[in-house]
Chains A and B, each alone.
Chain A
Amino acid sequence: MNERELFKKTFDAVPAPEYLAIRAAVNANADTRRAPRRVLRTALIAAMLIAALSAAAAAGFLGGTKKDYVDVCNKELDALRELGLFHIEFEIEESSLRPHYDDIGPDMVYAGEVGSSGSAETVYYFLLGNMDTGKISGLSISARPQEDTEPAFINEVGWAIYDNFDAILDTNMTVGEYCDIWKQYQGYERYELPEGVEPEIRLLDTRELDAWSFSMEGNGIKIPFYRSGRGEPEYAWISYEATGSGPSICFGDSSLKG
């Protein structure tokens, strides 16, 4: 018995009431409606919930302690994992966090473990948070190389290069899926793919496209995202690299420009 057969047999054991169809036909014909709900009470509860959620969202990184910043960063990382952007596990720690980092401007928070292992000992990460929105605006993650397997290739100076991107994310993710997740997370209204970049292309196949650039601004494909009612775009990059120290991928815009 395979997984699907086992699953079906298991849930077929849940008895489904036989009278559902008959009751539905009778109720539909009689135009039966449910008893009136407690509309006012529901509306009040909804209003309270919205107020509470709005307050929590507005709080973002503002006015917090270092611990608050760390908590927000980790909560937002979880949110991105839940949306399916990546699945690698690691946590930001206070020691790696620098609010008001000089190089990136006063409205950003920075957390990074570049050049030394992070809290999970297997991940290098670099995160930028927008203190106004409480959202992560850029994130770069490098996994440890899969040294117990054959390297993907040996480069010109003889280094073994590893491309175990599956340690970080779903390697079947497409450009469209990546952009949809980023759009949903940030609350953007829309985005525009550069010419020649189709939404169905696998994210990890984009390096071969003409739209890929190597420049001082960044390496990869730069995608403009637009907020409702605002003309100026914000950018997210598609950027990844297989290296000797492991596969590395960038989400959003994690360039240190403020």
Chain B
Amino acid sequence: MQEHDEFTRAARQYAPLIYRVAFGYLRSVQDAEDAAQNVLIKLYRRAGGFESDEHLKYWLVRVTVNECKKALKSPRYREAPLDELAQAAAFDTPREGELFQTVMAMERKYRAVLLLYYYADYSTAEIARLLGVPAATVRTRLARAREHLKHILTEQEEII
């Protein structure tokens, strides 16, 4: 991406999405920052434009997923404790805090699907392409993750 203004606009718009997807995937502030920065450097250096904003977003999320997978192989990679991650965020309601804790406590494969589906707004077919797994796998993971969330949230409501 040669045009500096174009890069600045795209980075401002999508850096939070890139960072939060990486954060959810990696469960580490430091590694998420590194992954997000690598994605933005690739964006900066990319020659040629994108067909549309959707194309740009898809490219960024795909590169983010790849950077996260790369980070997992690093001997320096460390997941942060759940409590530490929750302290970094300011939730408006206890329900949001509970949802965050529940999602972040799940296995990575479920977190990734949840983030891409609910937060990045991708369909199960698009997530399958992003993660390189069959769409049926994505649907199964999403169904299991939803079931797990539903159970926890229902319990929470009953306690309240």
Contact = CB atoms under 8 A, between A and B. Distances in A.
Nearest to A25: B44
A4 B118 contact: yes
B140 A23 contact: no
A11 B140 contact: no
A180 interface: yes
B136 interface: yes
Contacts of A21: 7-8, 11-12, 15, 40
A85 interface: yes
Contacts of A10: 91, 96, 99-100, 103
A168 to B, nearest CB: 12
6 contacts: A8-B118, A9-B96, A25-B7, A25-B11, A25-B44, A45-B75
A16 B22 CA distance: 11
Interface of A: 3-4, 6-17, 20-21, 23-25, 27-28, 37-38, 41-42, 45, 81-85, 87, 170, 172-174, 177-178, 180-181, 184
Given A21-B15, A181-B136, A8 B96 contact: no
B137 A83 contact: yes
Contacts of B45: 28
B139 A180 contact: no
A21 B144 CA distance: 36
B138 A84 contact: yes
A78 to B, nearest CB: 12
Which 10 residue pairs of A and B lie closest in terms of their CB atoms, listed nearest first? A24-B40, A21-B11, A84-B137, A7-B118, A84-B136, A16-B16, A16-B19, A28-B44, A84-B140, A10-B96
A85 B137 CA distance: 7
Contacts of A8: 118-119
Nearest to A21: B11
Contacts of B36: 16, 20
B63 interface: no
B56 interface: no
B82 interface: no
Given A10-B99, A177-B136, 14 more contacts: A3-B118, A7-B99, A7-B114, A11-B100, A12-B16, A13-B89, A13-B90, A14-B100, A20-B18, A24-B44, A28-B45, A81-B140, A84-B141, A170-B140
B88 interface: yes
B68 to A, nearest CB: 15
Contact of A14 (B18, B23, B99, B114): B23
Contacts of B75: 37-38, 41-42, 45
B41 A85 contact: no
Contacts of B130: none
Given A3-B118, A42-B75, A27 B41 contact: yes
Given A20-B19, A20-B40, A21-B12, A13 B96 contact: yes
Interface string B90-134: 111001100110010000010000110011010000000000011
B67 to A, nearest CB: 12
B46 to A, nearest CB: 10
B72 interface: no
Nearest to B141: A84
B137 A82 contact: yes
Contacts of B88: 14-15
Contact of A84 (B7, B37, B91, B134): B134
Interface in B50-108: 74-75, 88-92, 95-96, 99-100, 103
B134 A11 contact: no
A7 B136 contact: no
